[in-house]
Structure 1
Amino acid sequence: MTKQKGLFLLRLAIILSGIIGLAFLLPDKLYKFTYYTNISNLLVVLFYMYLLYLGNKPYSQTIWRLKGGITICITLTFLVYAILLAPKAKPEDFYHIKNFTLHYIVPILTIFDWLISDKKGQYKKSDPFLWTVVPLIYCIFSLIKGFVFHIPIPEEPHSPYPYFFINIDKYGWNGFFTYFTAILVLYILLGYIMVFVKRLKK
């Protein structure tokens, strides 16, 4: 098997895994796109579809930098779930194909794709900060939706907030900013690790 064919199959597996996981939201659970997990997985699916559309054409630096942003975006999904959410998950929710595809399979395959395919020296020093745009926009959206408009989320114990660490009504602004700062710092540090790794000679 050639490298190009192997990469094609890997990316196809990422797309199909994401589609399988997101398909559980259809037709009556589209409100679950309130969750960062589903948004990040949708971004991965759409972006990798675009990569398959490009085929073997050489990518511009913009594409490589965007790919790095997509990778860290889904990596956050994996880490936050594994560290903060999995210990609190109900068995029927944890041992579900949707959970495994969206929280584990898609993120891990995407990270693997990044390790073996992303070119060296494509990132700028400012990229780890630029990559925070997605989680920052998501956080602002969640706060406006929950704190300002109080739009309920069905089946969510922390409604109108999608996650417990955004629940200002329960934990207050101090609790929120503690979690938010920790996650943001982790996000930026991961970004710089990615930049560093892709500057190594081997």
Structure 2
Amino acid sequence: MLGLTAAVVFIALALQFYLSLRLAEANGKTLGYGVVLYLGFFTITTNFLVLFASASPLIAPASSMGRFFVRPVAIGWVAASIAFVSVAYFLLLRHVWKPQGLQLIADVLLHYVVPLLYVLFSFIALRGTRLRWASPFRWSLYPLIYFVYAMIRGAMINAYPYGFIDASVLGYATTLRNAVFLLIAFLVLAYLLILLWRVGAKPISQSDKTLL
């Protein structure tokens, strides 16, 4: 499962990178602008997270990264993050544009196929696992850091990756409110996944310890 996920996410990221560069060139922008555009999206950064999480245990299992991404808490973090990408895109963004051709393929891979593959892997790896109830708050640091990055980047280049956090149009108060709602949604999704992963867990004995 991890090998398939790594292959699919690599192809999806490479295809979207090519399309971003081509779009920049078509709009008279530099290739550097295309790279900046590419790296501005939560979808891209999270798919890179999935790439590291799926490839490193296979390629370098003894490395610090390889050991980290097989930990239950790391699998849960990555699964919650990529699931959030898929759910948020389906509910908020799929009606905003109509991708065609190669862009449609990249769109489907990044927002649906990769999330499905990694979340399915998480249900196999974490079935019956009791993760700490505080874990989603730790995982939420990732979207919080991304939000800060998106705000700084947007202020510097006057371009925001998503309309619902476009401070130049909405103002910072509305943007912050939207970010809070999205953070709450992330936490709700993460807790739902934790409950589903716990299905089949054995009753806790005195010697059991909650997984970190």
TM-score, structure 2 length as denominator? 0.77
Secondary structure, aligned partner of 2:199: coil
Tell me the residue number matched to 2:3: 12
Instruction: Indicate how the Cα distance of structure 1 residues 60 and 177 shifts in structure 2: closer, same or farther if over 3 A, else same.
Output: closer
Deviates more, 1:22-31 or 1:185-194: 22-31
- Write the distance in 1 (CA, Å) between the matches of 2:143 and 2:101: 24
After superposition, what is the alpha-carbon deviation per residue over 1:22-48, rounded to whole angstroms, capped at 9, x for unaligned?
Answer: 112046432211111111001101111
Report the RMSD for the aligned CA atoms in angstroms. 2.3
Instruction: Indicate how the Cα distance of structure 1 residues 122 and 93 shifts in structure 2: closer, same or farther if over 3 A, else same.
Output: farther
Amino acid of the structure 2 residue aligned with 1:90: K
After superposition, what is the alpha-carbon deviation per residue over 1:7-61, rounded to whole angstroms, capped at 9, x for unaligned?
Answer: xxx2222111111111120464322111111110011011111222439xxx789
Tell me the residue number matched to 1:30: 35
How far the C-alpha of 1:62 sits from its partner, in A, is 7.5
Secondary structure, aligned partner of 1:96: helix
Candidates 36, 46, 49, aligned match of 1:40? 46
Tell me the residue number matched to 1:142: 150
Contact 1:37 1:77 in 2 (8 A): yes
Q: 1:127 and 2:135 equivalent? A: yes
Deviates more, 1:101-110 or 1:46-55: 46-55
Amino acid of the structure 1 residue aligned with 2:39: F
Amino acid of the structure 1 residue aligned with 2:83: T
Tell me the residue number matched to 2:91: 83
How far the C-alpha of 1:144 sits from its partner, in A, is 1.1
Instruction: Indicate how the Cα distance of structure 1 residues 117 and 143 shifts in structure 2: closer, same or farther if over 3 A, else same.
Output: same
Residues 25-174 of structure 1: matches in 2 within 5 Å?
25-26=17-18, 28=31, 29-31=34-36, 32-53=38-59, 54=61, 63-92=71-100, 96-147=104-155, 149=156, 151-152=157-158, 160-174=159-173
Contact 2:84 2:189 in 1 (8 A): no
Contact 1:93 1:99 in 2 (8 A): no
Instruction: Indicate how the Cα distance of structure 1 residues 119 and 200 shifts in structure 2: closer, same or farther if over 3 A, else same.
Output: closer
- Write the distance in 1 (CA, Å) between the matches of 2:108 and 2:187: 26
Tell me the residue number matched to 1:194: 193
Question: Which ranges in structure 2 are unaligned for 5 or more consecutive residues?
Answer: 22-30, 202-212
Question: Which ranges in structure 1 are unaligned for 5 or more consecutive residues?
Answer: 1-9, 153-159
4+ runs deviating over 3 angstroms = 26-29, 59-62
Amino acid of the structure 1 residue aligned with 2:179: F
Contact 1:86 1:94 in 2 (8 A): no
Q: Percent identity?
A: 24
How far the C-alpha of 1:121 sits from its partner, in A, is 3.2
After superposition, what is the alpha-carbon deviation per residue over 1:113-136, rounded to whole angstroms, capped at 9, x for unaligned?
Answer: 111222433411210100101110
Contact 2:69 2:75 in 1 (8 A): no
